[in-house]
C-alpha cells in the first residue's frame, strides 16, 4: 500500500467472514467505528495466504459499524464482483487499514485555495460545485505526487519515475481544470487557474 505504515487506522489478525456473509469482515478485538474507519478507507487483507496471495488483496470500506466492516471492490458498487470470502466463511484473516487522510487534506486545501472554494463563502461552497470529478482527479494526483516524493531516495528507481509522471499528469490536470458552479445551465462564471486570483 502507498499509505505510510505510521498512518495506521486499524489492524488485526482475527478477522473473520461468517458463512453466507462474504462481504462483512468482523473482528473480536477491533472496534472499527471507534478507530475512525469510515466509508472510502482501504483495507488490505493479507492472510491466510491460501486465499490472499502475495501482498494480499485490497478492498474499499462501504460501511463501518462497531466491530464489523462491509467491504466492496474498489471502483465497484456494494456486492458486485468476486467477494473476499468463500461462501463457507473464513477465519484468521489478517487485515490492515492505513490512510492517506493527511495527504488528502493537504491536497484538498491547496485546490480549495487555488480555486477559491470555501464552505463559508456564499456562492463558492463545495455544495455548489456542479461536478467535482476533475477536482477529485487533481486531488488524487496531488496525493500521489506527495507520496512518491516522500518515498523517492534519489533520481534512480521506480518512485522517481512515478513522481515525474504524477507531477506531469497533475500539471496537465490543473491546466485544463475548470470549476463550474451551480446546477444545470447557469450564467455564473466558471473558475480556472487563470481566473482565481481573487482578493478577499
Q: Hey, where are the domains in the chain? A: 8-98, 101-176
Task: Please check whether residue 58 is in contact with residue 43, taking contact to mean a CB–CB distance below 8 angstroms.
Answer: yes
Q: pLDDT per position in the chain (200 positions), as tens?
A: 677 778 888 999 999 999 999 999 999 999 999 999 999 899 999 999 889 988 889 999 999 999 999 999 998 888 899 999 999 999 999 999 988 888 889 999 999 988 888 888 888 888 888 888 888 899 999 988 888 888 887 555 678 888 888 989 999 998 888 888 876 555 555 555 545 444 33
pLDDT at 160: 85
pLDDT at 184: 59
pLDDT at 186: 54
Query: Would you say the C-alpha torsion 68, 73, 74, 80 has a positive or negative sign?
Result: negative
- Cα 133 to its chain centre, rounded Å, is 14
pLDDT at 155: 58
d(C-alpha 181, C-alpha 100), whole Å? 28
Task: Please check whether residue 67 is in contact with residue 26, taking contact to mean a CB–CB distance below 8 angstroms.
Answer: yes
Task: Please check whether residue 17 is in contact with residue 40, taking contact to mean a CB–CB distance below 8 angstroms.
Answer: no
As its CATH architecture, domain 8-98 has: Beta Barrel (2.40)
pLDDT at 187: 54
Cell numbers at 32, concatenated: 472499527
Amino acid at each position: 500500500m502507498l499509505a505510510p505504515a505510521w498512518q495506521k487506522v486499524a489492524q488485526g489478525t482475527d478477522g473473520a467472514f461468517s458463512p453466507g456473509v462474504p462481504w462483512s469482515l468482523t473482528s473480536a478485538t477491533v472496534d472499527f467505528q471507534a478507530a475512525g474507519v469510515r466509508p472510502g478507507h482501504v483495507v488490505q487483507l493479507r492472510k491466510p495466504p491460501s486465499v490472499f496471495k502475495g501482498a494480499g488483496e485490497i478492498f474499499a470500506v462501504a460501511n463501518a459499524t462497531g466491530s464489523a466492516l462491509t467491504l466492496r471492490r474498489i471502483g465497484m458498487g456494494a456486492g458486485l464482483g468476486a467477494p473476499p470470502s468463500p461462501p463457507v466463511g473464513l477465519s484468521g484473516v489478517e487485515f490492515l487499514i492505513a490512510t492517506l487522510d493527511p495527504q488528502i487534506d493537504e491536497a484538498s486545501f491547496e485546490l480549495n485555495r487555488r480555486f477559491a472554494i470555501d464552505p463559508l463563502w456564499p456562492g463558492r461552497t463545495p455544495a455548489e460545485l456542479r461536478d467535482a470529478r476533475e477536482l477529485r482527479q487533481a486531488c488524487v494526483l496531488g496525493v500521489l505526487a506527495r507520496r512518491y516524493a516522500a518515498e523517492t531516495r534519489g533520481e534512480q528507481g521506480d518512485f522517481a519515475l512515478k513522481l515525474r509522471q504524477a507531477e506531469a499528469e497533475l500539471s496537465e490536470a490543473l491546466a485544463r481544470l475548470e470549476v463550474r458552479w451551480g446546477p444545470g445551465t447557469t450564467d455564473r462564471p466558471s473558475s480556472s487557474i487563470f481566473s482565481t486570483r481573487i482578493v478577499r
